[in-house]
Amino acid sequence: MTVYGQQLQDKQKIRMHYGLLERQMRRTFAEAQRMGGVTGTNLLVLLESRLDSIVYRLGFAPTMRAARQLVTHGHIELNGKKCNVPSLQVEPETTISIRERSRKVPMIIDGVENPPAMLPEYLDRPAKSFEGRMVARPNQETVPFKPDTAGVIGFYSR
């Protein structure tokens, strides 16, 4: 495989995992470059800080795509206020909860009764709770998904 092919494959793995369109991925990469520091780490931090990623990692949805749908359909509250923007960057000390009227949705009930086996260190969720918190920013060590970001950097830097 060529270098370009490998870089493209690395980028596509990340895109498919997070369910992003090319424009969203390109925008996120540009923001990661502007942040200063290690671009690959910044990219993962930005992707893991998205609201749909947080909802998925908290276990309220079985897949990233389902988490995006929960957010888009208005089932999620941030600090008590309804939010329907999956790409919203969640800040530390933010409370993410399921709206009161959405607590009867079977997928959400299943997620609450069967929490994820391992919650990332930057998230906190009491057992059998419809609420979770982002306690810190994700970093390279605490991100559960470990893609090769060097290929993505090479792909977008050409």
User: Structural domain of residue 26, as residue ranges?
Assistant: 1-49+146-158
Residues 65 and 110 in one domain: yes
Instruction: Catalogue the E-assigned strands of 54-156.
Output: 76-78, 81-83, 94-98, 123-124, 131-134
Residues 38 and 64 in one domain: no
Query: CA of 51: how far to CAs of 4, 63, 157, in Å?
Result: 31, 13, 27
Tokens of 99: 């709206």
Q: How long a stretch of residues is the chain?
A: 158
Residues 62 and 122 in one domain: yes
- Answer yes or no: is 28 within a domain: yes
The CATH number assigned to the domain holding 62 equals: 3.10.290.10
pLDDT recorded at residue 58: 94
- Answer yes or no: is 141 within a domain: no
* Residue 69 confidence (pLDDT) above 90: yes
| CB contact at 8 A, 86 and 69 | no
Looking at residues 32-39, what average pLDDT do you find?
93
The CATH number assigned to the domain holding 30 equals: 1.10.1050.10
Residues 25 and 95 in one domain: no
- How many domains does one find in the chain? 2
pLDDT recorded at residue 143: 87
Per-residue pLDDT tens digits for 135-154: 999 988 888 888 889 999 99
Residues 67 and 127 in one domain: yes
Residues 43 and 89 in one domain: no
Residues 56 and 132 in one domain: yes
CA distance 24 to 88: 12
- The DSSP secondary-structure symbol of 136 reads S
Residues 58 and 129 in one domain: yes
Residues 151 and 84 in one domain: no
- Answer yes or no: is 98 within a domain: yes
Pick 114 or 86 by higher pLDDT: 86
The alpha carbon of residue 94 and the mean position of all alpha carbons in its chain are separated, in whole angstroms, by: 14
To the nearest whole number, what is the mean pLDDT of the chain? 93
Contacts of 124 (CB under 8 A, 6+ apart): 132, 133, 134, 135
Residues 34 and 92 in one domain: no
Instruction: Catalogue the E-assigned strands of 22-135.
Output: 76-78, 81-83, 94-98, 123-124, 131-134
Per-residue pLDDT tens digits for 7-20: 999 999 999 999 99
- Answer yes or no: is 71 within a domain: yes
pTM given for the model: 0.91
Residues 9 and 24 in one domain: yes
Residues 90 and 132 in one domain: yes
Per-residue pLDDT tens digits for 72-90: 999 999 999 999 999 999 9
